[in-house]
Chain A
Amino acid sequence: MGSPFASILESLTRQRGVRASLVVDQNDGIVVDSSLQIGQDGDRVAALAASLYRKARLSAGAARLGSASFMHLEAERGRICAAGRNDLVLVVVADPAANIGLIRVEMMKAVGALP
């Protein structure tokens, strides 16, 4: 039986420039399900991205900006995007040249499908 997140992850991984997509437990930073290209360390990405997302959410709350809906980290060799719902975070790792607007749209659609 396939994971309930398989179709969500497939739709994200189909986007050009996406190297990995993961559903991660926000509190534990543990991978719930993932779709990874060869060479991607899912556990590492999950732990760090969930930690970043949690802190971004807390920071947004502390700054009275309301709840955080989307986080985007741009680095020299790639990008990390995260969006969460309840206790789950959807994480995407993409190439620097990936179309982040398109990825964001797909992620926000996918987040709505998370339980």
Chain B
Amino acid sequence: MSVTAVESWVEAPLRKFVEDARTVLALLLHPSGQVVAQSGFARAIDVMSACALAAAINASAGELGRQLDGRPFRGLHHAGRDRQLYLADAPTPRGSFIVLTVFDQESSLGLVRLYFEEFIRNLAAAAPTSPRPVEPVLEQHFEQDLNKNLATLFGRG
């Protein structure tokens, strides 16, 4: 399974996770919806919509958790007929990321959660210690950055 990443330090931990957990699709993104790495996607348009949906779901689930439990929910699981998804936060010294994982009968929620714990440890260990400069997410930057990241991931950079 090929893994492509905008930031190279995420590539090895994500590749290991994808192989161990036998995921169909995996996506690492900033909470703003900017893609950082992907595995299994064939088209940039699919990554773009998956990032937007994952960021929105994460924001809603986070707020729901804060209101119900005083803190954001840790992970979200949806089971479909053939495919399931697991969406969770991955905190690192470089900031927090969102991970969207899609898996089928080749894996299970238990396996994905098991290897996800290992993945966030590996990701945190691989993260550069300097925090990423936080810039305001502006509409014009967002689209520009999104297109740049998609071009990097799909070889059109």
Where the two chains meet, the residues of A that have a C-beta atom closer than 8 Å to any C-beta of B are 24-25, 27-30, 43-44, 46-48, 50-51, 54
- Binary per-residue interface labels of chain B (109-125) against chain A in the complex, 1 for a CB within 8 Å, 0 otherwise: 11101100000000000
Q: How many A-B residue pairs have CB under 8 A?
A: 33
Give chain A's interface secondary structure class.
Answer: helix
Q: Inside 8 A of B108's CB, which chain A residues have their CB?
A: 27-30, 47, 50-51, 54
Q: How far is the CA of A28 from the CA of B112 in the complex (A)?
A: 10
Give chain B's interface secondary structure class.
Answer: helix
B84, closest chain A residue (CB) = A28
The 5 lowest CB-CB distance pairs between A and B, nearest first, are: A29-B110, A47-B110, A29-B108, A47-B114, A28-B109
B113 lies within 8 A of A48 (CB): no
Given contacts A25-B110, A30-B108, A48-B114, 8 further A-B contacts (CB under 8 A): A27-B108, A28-B109, A43-B114, A44-B114, A47-B111, A47-B114, A51-B108, A51-B110
B111, closest chain A residue (CB) = A47
Q: Can you name 13 A-B residue pairings with CB atoms under 8 Å?
A: A24-B110, A27-B108, A28-B108, A29-B109, A29-B110, A29-B111, A46-B110, A47-B110, A47-B113, A47-B114, A50-B110, A51-B108, A54-B108
A29, closest chain B residue (CB) = B110
B113 lies within 8 A of A43 (CB): yes
Q: How far is the CA of A28 from the CA of B107 in the complex (A)?
A: 8
Q: How far is the CA of A13 from the CA of B108 in the complex (A)?
A: 26
A30 lies within 8 A of B111 (CB): no
Q: How far is the CB of A56 from chain B (nearest CB, A)?
A: 14
Q: How far is the CA of A30 from the CA of B107 in the complex (A)?
A: 12
Q: How far is the CA of A43 from the CA of B112 in the complex (A)?
A: 11
B110, closest chain A residue (CB) = A29
Q: How far is the CA of A47 from the CA of B107 in the complex (A)?
A: 10
Q: How far is the CA of A27 from the CA of B109 in the complex (A)?
A: 8
